[in-house]
Structure 1
Amino acid sequence: MNRRRKQRLFAVSAAFVLLAAAIGVMLYSLNDSIDVFYTPSEIHNGKEATGNKPIVGQRLRIGGLVVPGSINRANDSLNVSFDLVDTGPKVKVEYNGILPDLFREGQGIIATGELKTPTLIVAHEVLAKHDEEYMPPELAEQLKGMNQFKPANAKDTKAGQY
């Protein structure tokens, strides 16, 4: 191999190594800002497909229904705690801030925060979902069996209707 080919090979190899290192650094830095979505059942039982459970200290997003009678507000601050449930076990959420106007018992919400214990999430953002007419038939049937929740569209659960 002549000298010119060696220089090209070295330049291409160096560019490839630098590109791989840059991609690795970007992925490593993005790892801290990725929020995986879980339901209360998935926090207790793990994801259905993989069985992966979140670890304490992990940032995550959780979605579920606010359990009626579980909202506790502090008198001297904006601290509020409430329970979330989907079709299984409950998870407690603590939040310090002003809740959205649509937040109420039985309402679907999404909270972004950190898992402090296996059943406690300290949220830094709470979003209330709009009241929607459509609910998947499986979820509506499961919620019908729970006395504490009455889905608004429990009488009309045909798939595909909006």
Structure 2
Amino acid sequence: MTPKRKRLWLVVGSLAVLGFAATLVLTALNDNIVFFYSPTQMAEKKIPPDRRFRMGGLVEAGSVKKSADGQETRFRVTDTNKTVEVVYRGLLPDLFREGQGVVAEGSLGADGVFVAREVLAKHDENYMPPEVAKALKEAGRWKESK
């Protein structure tokens, strides 16, 4: 084999290994990326069931219902334009309340109910999760705190 041919095979082999490594990295990143949607964005997009993402908005007043054993909680999250039913099994954060900002991570069930694996509540009176604030501003429903 001539030196020119050896060099060609080395370049081709290096590019193949580099391409394979890039594919592995992109696949791993894609599996770990969690998108954020507001209830309005969820209604506009066709999100496949069992696709993990974050959804946020305000907990609708009067919508929180706990099961008899206290382990399952159902509530609605709204961006004041659209509303999404959420079911969560587990203990909710102490700061979880109706009318407050919330971000839930989970997936959409086949029945259209969002099945939350984790629920995050805002941590003080003036804080609003950035994703929720942005979604409310886009919906034209943002109220500045006093």
Q: Pick the aligned partner of 2:64 from 71, 80, 95.
A: 71
Deviation larger for 112-121 or 70-79: 112-121
In 1, distance between residues paired with 2:48 and 2:80? 22
In 2, distance between residues paired with 1:41 and 1:16? 44
Runs of 4+ in 1 over 4 A off after TM superposition: 133-141
Q: Pick the aligned partner of 2:80 from 67, 87, 99.
A: 87
Equivalence map 1:4-153=2 (5 Å):
4-46=3-45, 53-117=46-110, 119-130=112-123, 131-132=125-126, 142=141, 153=145
**Gap runs ≥5 in structure 2:** none
In the TM superposition, residue 78 of structure 1 has moved relative to its aligned partner by: 1.0
**Gap runs ≥5 in structure 1:** 47-52, 144-150, 157-162
SS class of match (2:95): coil
Aligned residue identity for 2:20: A
SS class of match (2:98): coil
**Which string of whole-angstrom CA distances, capped at 9 and with x for unpartnered residues, describes residues 27-67 of structure 1?**
22332322110000100123xxxxxx322221110010000
How many residues get paired?
140
Q: Which has the higher contact order (CA 8 A, sep 6+)?
A: 2
In the TM superposition, residue 77 of structure 1 has moved relative to its aligned partner by: 4.2
Deviation larger for 90-99 or 19-28: 19-28
In 2, distance between residues paired with 1:127 and 1:138? 20
In the TM superposition, residue 23 of structure 1 has moved relative to its aligned partner by: 1.4
Deviation larger for 122-131 or 25-34: 25-34
Alignment check: 8 A CA contact 1:56 1:118 kept: no
SS class of match (1:132): coil
Deviation larger for 78-87 or 27-36: 27-36
**Which string of whole-angstrom CA distances, capped at 9 and with x for unpartnered residues, describes residues 67-89 of structure 1?**
01111111214111100000311
In 2, distance between residues paired with 1:11 and 1:94? 55
In 1, distance between residues paired with 2:32 and 2:127? 33
TM-score by length of 2: 0.82
In 1, distance between residues paired with 2:111 and 2:97? 24
